[in-house]
Amino acid sequence: MAKKSTRTNRHQAQQDLHAYDQSPVVTRYTAKPLIAPIEALTENQARYLGAIKSQTIIFGTGPAGTGKTYCAAAWAADQLVAKKVKQVFLTRPAVETGQSMGFLPGTVEEKYAPFLEPFKSTMIKRMGKTSFEYDLTHDKIVPRPLAYMRGATFDDAIVLLDEAQNCTPAEMLMFLTRIGENCTVIVSGDIQQCDLRGPCGLEDAVKRLFNVPGVAVIEFEEEDIVRSGIVRDVIRAYRN
């Protein structure tokens, strides 16, 4: 009887040990994105976003409030967060509308900061203020005046040129010849709001590159204005 009891206890102990050896059940959760994907609000916005994802140079032209800058900056922020590019360059011509603000104190970056506010606010909404400031201080987000682009090469990067209607043809040529490998360049502006006395570089580039492979031109209309109804009415009033 003792032998049977010992054998039974040993068998029970082995079963208990086997039970403890079982790996715990792990429930796997699919991480949800912190922010929803960019959603096109108009047909031309959908075409714009489609071109941004598939072409090398994308021109977005048309009136204010159509989402040209917002879509470009939001998409660039998402690509940076996903580590699909190493850098995002932000630029625009340093041309003031109307009267000059005069001399601005500080470094080049500090003087240029007011011109980059549309990019900054949109990118912070997409990636958060902490991530934006980290990438800014670690040269992943690089604000740079257009005049400082000569000699640069953009590899593994997204480059956003805003208010491009204020580029001269020479500046636009210089800018577009900076494109390197794995680079997407998004150029946006409203030709009707050019502040230059001479030729408009954006208008000139669109005419020259319209049929070049890898280049897309999306022309926004007044019907694409999504900022507010009053903006649409103001633009119509000034253009009639």
pLDDT digits (tens, 9 = 90+) for 27-48: 443 334 457 889 999 999 999 9
Inside any domain, residue 152: yes
Contacts of 231 (CB under 8 A, 6+ apart): 64, 65, 225
Q: What is the pLDDT of residue 94?
A: 72
Q: Is residue 6 assigned to a domain?
A: no
73: pLDDT strictly greater than 80: yes
Residue 164 within a domain = yes
Indicate if the pLDDT at residue 103 is higher than 80: no
Which strands make up the sheet holding 183-189, listed edge to edge? 141-143, 87-91, 157-161, 183-189, 57-61, 215-219
- Domain carrying residue 198: 40-239
Question: Would residue 80 count as lying in a domain?
Answer: yes
Residue 118 sits in a domain of what CATH number?
A: 3.40.50.300
Domain assignment of residue 34, yes or no: no
**In the predicted structure, residue 238 carries a pLDDT above the cut 70:** yes
Give the mean pLDDT of 60-67.
93
Residue 28 counted as domain residue: no
| Structural domain total, the chain | 1
**Residue 24 falls inside a structural domain:** no
In the chain, the amino acid numbered 94 is A
Q: What does 43-107 look like in DSSP terms, one character per residue?
A: HHHHHHHHHHHH-SEEEEES-TTSSHHHHHHHHHHHHHHTTS-SEEEEE-----SSS------S-
Token pair, residue 37, equals 């994907």
User: Is the residue at 7 inside a domain?
Assistant: no
Give me the pLDDT at residue 105, please: 56
Rg (CA), the chain: 27
User: What are the start-end ranges of the E strands in 82-224?
Assistant: 87-91, 141-143, 157-161, 183-189, 215-219
Q: pTM score, two decimals? A: 0.79
How many Cβ atoms sit within 10 Å of the Cβ of residue 208?
14
**What number is the average pLDDT over the span 80-91?**
94
